[in-house]
């Protein structure tokens, strides 16, 4: 048997700096943001503590108290209490926000009673100072009975000292600290029996199991039955015991606070953050500013990205030309240039826009403004059966639905959480951006309307459409699903902080990388398959085409060039891809699409951004003109009868389709995992598909 590595878990209230400390200790880049509930899953890394000690460090979701209320808090709860957990910690570091010490100490005291060695790391000392709060660290350490170390993980301060203390505890194997409160006095001696049934480390851990035994997945059925029987016998009243427990804890904490913490000006000092909030949370100005911020986001996606997009586009065009000129004419060259390079180039050009989008969202999160958006929109959200907390998933859904759906774990109310999960994919994610951009470039003129750019306005319109549809669907679901649970919105507003620009930069680069590698892999595979499907066809049909054109060329020798062009178009039409496309054409004709778009719709079910790559490949294979860029190739595309494919009507119809359709395997997979049912993703897939088809049809009929 290999020896288990020494394991340290980071716990504490939300937004206290756990992930920041995790990053300092491990050198990893776990997501940090300035609002409660950034981390919703556990994450493990390795940290070198001293020359002798290398430890596993686990970053956990924040919890206000040990009693779990939401799905993310259960993740932490399980690590703390499940004895058979592979992540069972040898040491807990409780990160306590010094500017909010009393509440943080409550959680510390609960953790201490689990009887796992504890260190308290005091973060936010700088903020406490701004509030004129001074803390006697030595006194606190004495009265709590565990080591207390001030840290500032944002600035990498205090980390060396913290490591020394960890190494010390690891070496001496301390006798565990004393109980903070006496659990047995609270419950009666039956608690020992529970302790035995589930082999808990302490009476307090046993009490936790008693309170939550119905929900804990790791308990055996037999244990559960024995616990239930015992609790019935002693007439266990969960709420009463919990209330008594909290009272006792606060009694002791109050004494500690009196002795160790001095607040110069007991009336809460008005700090800069409060002043900023006077404006940003103003009922009128707050909302106006919010709209301006969002507006700026969309316009900048077009303004700022225009130049770098041109460079990428030209780069790929040059690379294609160069490969075309140095390689001998054979099918490998065709595959490379028209299949893979065309597909990749089609997607790489969107890197600048993706980076700007993620940069913007990171700034919103890092500064603390994201939490204010929740606050400002709570009323709107409530009117459709959601609450302010749903805003976080919805806004991060603009980047990607997968982490957004995971972040819905912080929503305590089950119905609200499910509705949020149901509607989040309607928010336009970054994968739709390439599709929107290319279609907008094709059918919307690049004019100015006053000071605004028309294309930017349409883009914003598409995002808004997705958002409003999310509200409508939420309202319908709210009305369909009855729930008795009352809900309320509780969220701490964090103090404003300057975004850490390094973090913004790293996030932008990381996301661009993920986008290119993830999308790149799928696009590579699909481009190759597509290229093959578009190049080859049933031999008999392909031969028939060849014979036909050989005869025509013999008959009209002067027309060879145009006959060659016609032949490649005809071949594409008779290829496997062409046959499939024609087969589905009747279904998509009412929406204004040709068969190539039909193929792109199908391949987009792997991931939306594949649309552009598919278009690039299809138009390159059947290519006969001189156009180098996909957009130009699409612009000259025609139906058999000579009408252009991309008109205002068909372009808009296609945009609407992409706003609504659920074309993302990863999202469906994550919904299945988060809801633990197939029903939710299936309903989601169907309702979004129906919306997409209907919406696209209506728009096409109106603009035709």
Ligand X SMILES: Nc1nc2c(ncn2[C@@H]2O[C@H](COP(=O)(O)OP(=O)(O)OP(=O)(O)O)[C@@H](O)[C@H]2O)c(=O)[nH]1
Footprint of Mg ion (CB under 5 A): 18-19, 38-39
Q: Which is nearer to ligand X, 119 or 127 (CB)?
A: 127
Which DSSP helix (H) or strand (E) runs through 43? Answer: strand 43-48
Closest residue by Cα to residue 387 from 396, 377, 402: 377
**Minimum distance from residue 626 beta carbon to ligand X (Å):** 52
CA 333 to chain centre: 39
Q: Which is nearer to Mg ion, 37 or 286 (CB)?
A: 37
Residue 195 or 372: which CB sits closer to ligand X? 372
Residue 490, Cβ density class (10 Å: 0-12 exposed, 13-18 middle, ≥19 buried) = exposed
Count of beta carbons in the 10 Å neighbourhood of residue 147 = 21
- Residue 608 makes contact with ligand X by CB under 6 A: no
Quote the DSSP letter at residue 189: T
Residues 628-647 that bind ligand X (CB under 6 A): none
Indicate which of Mg ion, ligand X, none lies near residue 56 (CB less than 5 to 8 Å, by partner kind): none
d(CA 358, CA 155): 23
Indicate which of ligand X, Mg ion, none lies near residue 152 (CB less than 5 to 8 Å, by partner kind): ligand X
Sequence-distant (6+) residues with CB within 8 A of 141 are: 120, 147, 148
Closest approach of ligand X to the CB of residue 179, in Å: 26
Per-residue contact flags (x/-) with ligand X for residues 158 to 187, judged by CB under 6 A: ------------------------------
Q: Is 126 in the site for ligand X (CB under 6 A)?
A: yes
Report the residue from 75, 91, 111, 124 that binds ligand X according to the rule CB under 6 A.
Answer: 124
Residue 575 binds ligand X, judged by CB under 6 A: no
Residue 127 contact partner, candidates ligand X, Mg ion, none, CB within 5 to 8 A by sort of partner:
ligand X
Q: How far is CA 490 from the centre of its chain?
A: 22
Q: Using the minimum distance from each CB to ligand X, give the nearer residue, 16 or 617.
A: 16
Q: Which of 7, 9, 11, 18 binds ligand X (CB under 6 A)?
A: 18
* Class of residue 700 by CB neighbours under 10 A (exposed 0-12, middle 13-18, buried 19+): buried
Question: What does 37 interact with, of Mg ion, ligand X, none (CB < 5 to 8 A by kind)?
Answer: ligand X
The distance of closest approach from Cβ of residue 48 to ligand X in the complex, given in angstroms and rounded to an integer, is 20
- Residues 375-409, buried b or exposed e (16+ Cβ, 10 A)? bbbbeebbebbbbbbbbbbbbbbbbbbbebbbbbb
Among 7, 19, 100, 109, binds ligand X (CB under 6 A): 19
CB distance 379 to 551 below 8 Å: no
Q: What DSSP character marks residue 174? A: P
| 158: number of Cβ within 10 Å | 19
**Touching ligand X, residues 668-687 (CB under 6 A):** none
Q: Is 37 in the site for ligand X (CB under 6 A)?
A: yes
Among 89, 147, 153, 388, indicate the residue that binds ligand X (CB under 6 A): 153
The answer to whether 375 and 462 are in contact (CB under 8 A) is: no
Burial 491-509 (b: 16+ CB within 10 A, else e): bbbbbbeebbeebbeebbe
The interface partner of residue 17, options being ligand X, Mg ion, none and the CB cut-off 5 to 8 Å by kind, is ligand X
* Burial category of 328 from C-beta neighbours within 10 Å (exposed 0-12, middle 13-18, buried 19 and up): exposed
Q: Which stretch binds ligand X (CB under 6 A): 36-44, 238-246, 277-285, 691-699?
A: 36-44
**Residue 396 interacts with, from ligand X, Mg ion, none (CB under 5-8 Å by kind):** none
Residue number with CB closer to Mg ion (73 or 594): 73
Tokens found for residue 282: 């103003």
Output the smallest distance, CB 38 to Mg ion, in A.
5
Smaller CB separation from ligand X, 152 or 420: 152
Which of 39/453 has CB closer to Mg ion?
39
Interaction pattern, residues 242-281, with ligand X; x per rule: CB under 6 A: ----------------------------------------
Q: How far is 699 from 654, CA to CA, in rounded Å? A: 9
Which residues in 59-78 contact ligand X (CB under 6 A)? 61-62
d(CA 685, CA 508): 30
Binding site partner of 20, from Mg ion, ligand X, none, Cβ cut-off 5-8 A by kind = ligand X
The residue among 37 and 466 lying less far from ligand X, judged by its C-beta, is 37
Residue 556's CB is within 10 A of a number of other CB atoms, namely 11
Binding partner of residue 14 among ligand X, Mg ion, none, CB under 5 to 8 Å per kind?
ligand X
Report yes or no: 378 and 392 within 8 Å, Cβ to Cβ.
no
Are 204 and 110 in contact by the 8 Å Cβ rule? The answer is yes
Token digits of residue 428: 């336009």
**Residue number with CB closer to ligand X (26 or 338):** 26
Partner from Mg ion, ligand X, none contacting 153, C-beta within 5 to 8 A by type: ligand X
Short-list 215, 209, 207, CA closest to 248: 207
**What is each CA distance from 420 to 424, 470, 478, 652, in whole angstroms?**
6, 9, 11, 27
CB nearer to ligand X: pick between 130 and 541: 130
Q: Applying CB under 6 A, what is the total number of residues that bind ligand X? A: 25
> Which residue number, 308 or 403, has a Cβ lying nearer to Mg ion?
403
DSSP state letter for 337: I
Least separation in angstroms between residue 500's CB and ligand X is 6
Q: Taking the alpha carbons of 411, 417, 419, 421 in that order, is the dihedral positive or negative?
A: positive
126 binds, among ligand X, Mg ion, none (CB under 5 to 8 A by kind): ligand X
Residue in the block written with tokens 């049934």 = 197
Cβ of residue 40: shortest distance to Mg ion, in angstroms? 9
First to last CA, the chain: 72
Q: Pairing state of beta strands 452-453 and 43-48?
A: unpaired
7, 123, 338, 412: which one contacts ligand X (CB under 6 A)?
A: 123
Residue with the two structure tokens 């306005």:
457
In whole angstroms, how close is the CB of 395 to ligand X at the nearest point? 15
Residue from 94, 116, 127, 491 in contact with ligand X (CB under 6 A) = 127
Q: Which is nearer to Mg ion, 18 or 226 (CB)?
A: 18
438-497 residues near ligand X, rule: CB under 6 A: 497
Q: Are 694 and 701 in contact (CB under 8 A)?
A: no
Residue 310, both tokens: 């041109």
Binding region for ligand X (CB under 6 A) out of 16-24, 416-424, 606-614, 686-694: 16-24
* Region of 29-37, 48-56, 289-297, 549-557 interacting with ligand X (CB under 6 A): 29-37
Residue 376: both structure tokens together: 């400002």
Q: Which residues bind ligand X (CB under 6 A)?
A: 14-20, 32-34, 36-39, 61-62, 123-124, 126-127, 152-154, 366, 497
């Amino acid at each position: 048997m290999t020896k288990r590595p020494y394991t340290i878990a980071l716990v504490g209230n939300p937004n206290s700096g756990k992930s920041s400390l995790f990053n300092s200790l491990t050198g990893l880049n776990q997501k940090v943001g300035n609002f409660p509930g950034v981390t919703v899953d556990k994450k493990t890394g390795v940290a070198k503590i001293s020359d002798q000690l290398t430890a596993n460090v686990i970053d956990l979701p924040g919890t206000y108290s040990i009693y779990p209320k939401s799905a993310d808090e259960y993740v932490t709860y399980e690590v703390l209490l499940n004895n058979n957990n592979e992540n069972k910690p040898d040491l807990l570091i409780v990160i306590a926000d010094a500017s909010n010490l009393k509440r943080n100490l409550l959680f510390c005291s609960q953790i201490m009673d689990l009887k796992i060695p504890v260190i308290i790391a005091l973060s936010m000392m700088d903020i406490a100072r701004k509030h004129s709060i001074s803390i006697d660290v030595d006194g606190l350490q004495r009265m709590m009975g565990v080591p207390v170390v001030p840290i500032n993980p944002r600035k990498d301060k205090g980390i060396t000292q913290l490591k020394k203390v960890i190494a010390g505890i690891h070496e001496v194997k301390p006798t565990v600290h004393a109980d903070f409160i006496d659990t047995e006095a609270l419950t009666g001696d039956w608690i020992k029996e529970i302790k035995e049934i589930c082999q808990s480390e302490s009476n307090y851990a046993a009490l936790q199991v008693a309170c939550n035994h119905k929900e804990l997945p790791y308990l055996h059925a037999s244990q559960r039955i024995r616990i239930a029987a015992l609790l019935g016998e002693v007439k266990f009243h969960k709420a009463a015991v919990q209330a008594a427990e909290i009272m006792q804890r606060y009694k002791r904490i109050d004494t500690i606070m009196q002795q160790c913490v001095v607040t110069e000006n007991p009336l809460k000092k008005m700090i800069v953050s409060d002043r900023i909030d006077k404006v940003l949370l103003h009922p009128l100005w707050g909302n106006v500013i919010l709209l301006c911020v969002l507006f700026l986001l969309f316009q900048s996606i077009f303004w700022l990205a225009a130049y770098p997009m041109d460079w990428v586009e030209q780069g790929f065009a040059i690379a294609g030309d160069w490969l075309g000129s140095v390689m001998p004419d054979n099918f490998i060259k065709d595959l490379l240039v028209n299949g893979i390079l065309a597909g990749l180039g089609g997607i790489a050009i969107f890197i600048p826009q993706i980076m700007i989008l993620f940069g913007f969202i990171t700034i919103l999160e890092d500064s603390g403004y994201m939490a204010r958006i929740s606050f400002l929109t709570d009323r709107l959200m409530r009117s459709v059966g959601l609450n302010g907390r749903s805003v976080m998933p919805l806004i991060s859904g603009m980047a990607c639905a997968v982490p957004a759906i995971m972040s819905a774990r912080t929503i305590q109310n089950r119905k609200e959480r499910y509705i949020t999960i149901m509607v989040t994919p309607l928010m336009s994610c970054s994968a739709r951006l390439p599709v929107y951009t290319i279609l907008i470039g094709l059918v919307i003129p690049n004019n100015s309307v006053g000071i605004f750019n028309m294309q930017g306005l349409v883009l914003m319109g598409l995002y808004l459409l997705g958002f409003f549809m999310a509200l409508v669907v939420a309202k319908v679901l709210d009305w369909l699903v009855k729930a008795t649970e009352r809900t309320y919105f509780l969220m701490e507003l964090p103090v404003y902080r300057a975004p850490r620009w390094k973090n913004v930069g790293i996030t932008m680069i990381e996301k661009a990388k993920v986008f290119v590698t993830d999308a790149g892999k799928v696009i590579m595979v699909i481009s190759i398959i597509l290229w093959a499907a578009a190049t080859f066809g049933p031999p008999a049909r392909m031969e028939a085409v060849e014979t036909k054109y050989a005869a025509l060329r013999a008959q009209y020798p002067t027309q060879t060039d145009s006959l060659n062009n016609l032949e490649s178009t005809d071949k594409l039409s008779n290829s496997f891809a062409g046959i499939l496309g024609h087969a589905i054409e009747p279904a998509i004709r009412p929406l204004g699409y040709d068969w190539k778009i039909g193929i792109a719709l199908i391949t987009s079910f792997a991931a939306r951004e594949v649309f552009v790559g598919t278009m690039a490949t299809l138009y390159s294979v059947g290519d006969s003109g001189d156009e180098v860029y996909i957009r130009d190739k699409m612009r000259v595309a025609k139906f058999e009868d000579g009408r252009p494919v991309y008109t205002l009507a068909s372009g808009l119809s296609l945009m609407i389709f992409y706003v609504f359709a659920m074309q993302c395997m990863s999202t469906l997979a994550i919904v299945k995992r988060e809801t633990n049912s197939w029903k939710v993703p299936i309903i989601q897939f169907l309702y979004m598909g129906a919306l997409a088809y209907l919406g696209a049809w209506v728009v096409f009929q109106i603009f035709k």
